[in-house]
């Protein structure tokens, strides 16, 4: 199950309904659940109200209930650890930064070395907390234009210090974050990183324009102790570059040697559109059959239909519920 924010955790605390939401998917053959984005313990990490925290006694008690419910149904679960970076909305306490890349008028705060160290320490604390709560690993939200991705993206990262410039330098923040998390959890606990070319505010953005760029990007991440890559694309089967049929997930797997999750409009006939209908799953099967990826993450299909996994397993594809149909049903 792909990570999908829902804003159903009042005050940042996952409720019993959140536990049941994930448990229902686990009950129907989802093997690994990547949680919605959950804020690390840093004062500028959050932006969107009612998204869950991954710190504080109440929130962590909620997450302990969530992971226990998922495990009771036989699935594994990683929390996705999130710092929104300059996606913070103006006036959202305790800071008021707005992303200028999205048209905001307020300038962002340029992170100092001390700021960077504080955020890295918060990610490491969150990883250790996840391990203590019984999660099976953690995922860093490093995609879609949020903080980790802002360092990777040349349009957002105009730094002239050791964190800016070359691809490898822009990857330094992610690598140091992974390294600190690895020290906190030991060698066996899985650490995943979600990456994307496209951003919420720019669907044509790139962080890598060739296989060589991917190699420069991923080498320091692997050296830091990364376990798994989660590659988000607009369409799961779309070739990454014009001179090769390999998908972006396929390239990251080939270059890194790590297991890779592929994600992007699985089972939808109009990728990238909210009103997408259902489509055959041939592309997903093809990627797995040729060993281009290790896992497939399903997003909107599972959001709309908690029984998606069982229906696919049993060949009941005609019974899958589409997102719009599900929403209409709830309104009626």
Residue 99 β-bridge partners: none
Residue 82 β-bridge partners: 39
For the annotated catalytic residues, the residue numbers are 146
Residue 215 phi, psi (nearest 5): -60, -45
Cis ω on the peptide bond leading into residue 3 (within 30° of 0)?
A: no
């Amino acid at each position: 199950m792909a990570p999908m924010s829902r804003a159903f955790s009042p005050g940042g605390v996952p409720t019993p309904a959140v536990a049941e939401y994930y448990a229902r998917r686990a009950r129907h053959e989802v093997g690994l659940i990547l949680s919605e984005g959950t804020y690390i313990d840093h004062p500028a990490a959050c932006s969107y109200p009612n998204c869950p925290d991954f710190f504080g006694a109440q929130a962590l008690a909620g997450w302990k209930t969530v992971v226990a419910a998922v495990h009771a149904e036989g699935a594994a679960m990683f929390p996705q650890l999130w710092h929104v970076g300059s996606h913070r909305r103006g006036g959202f306490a305790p800071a008021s930064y707005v992303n200028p890349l999205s048209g905001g008028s307020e300038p962002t705060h340029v992170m100092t070395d001390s700021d960077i160290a504080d955020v890295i320490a918060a990610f490491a604390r969150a990883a250790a907390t996840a391990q203590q709560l019984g999660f099976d690993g953690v995922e860093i939200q490093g995609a879609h234009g949020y903080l980790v991705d802002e360092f990777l993206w040349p349009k957002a990262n105009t730094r002239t210090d050791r964190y800016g410039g070359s691809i490898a330098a822009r990857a330094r923040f992610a690598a140091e974050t992974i390294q600190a998390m690895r020290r906190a959890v030991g060698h066996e606990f899985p650490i995943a990183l979600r990456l994307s070319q496209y951003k919420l505010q720019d669907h044509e953005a790139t962080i890598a324009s060739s296989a060589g760029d991917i190699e420069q990007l991923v080498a320091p991440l692997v050296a830091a102790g990364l376990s798994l890559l989660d590659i988000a694309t607009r369409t799961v089967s779309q070739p990454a570059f014009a001179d090769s049929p390999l998908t972006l997930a396929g390239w990251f797997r080939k270059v890194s040697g790590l297991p890779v999750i592929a994600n992007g409009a699985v089972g939808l006939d109009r990728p990238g559109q909210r009103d997408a209908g259902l489509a055959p799953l041939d592309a997903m099967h093809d990627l797995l059959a040729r060993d281009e990826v290790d896992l497939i993450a399903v997003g909107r299909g599972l959001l709309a239909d908690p029984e998606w996994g069982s229906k696919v397993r049993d060949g009941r594809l005609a019974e899958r519920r589409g997102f719009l149909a599900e929403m209409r049903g709830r309104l009626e």
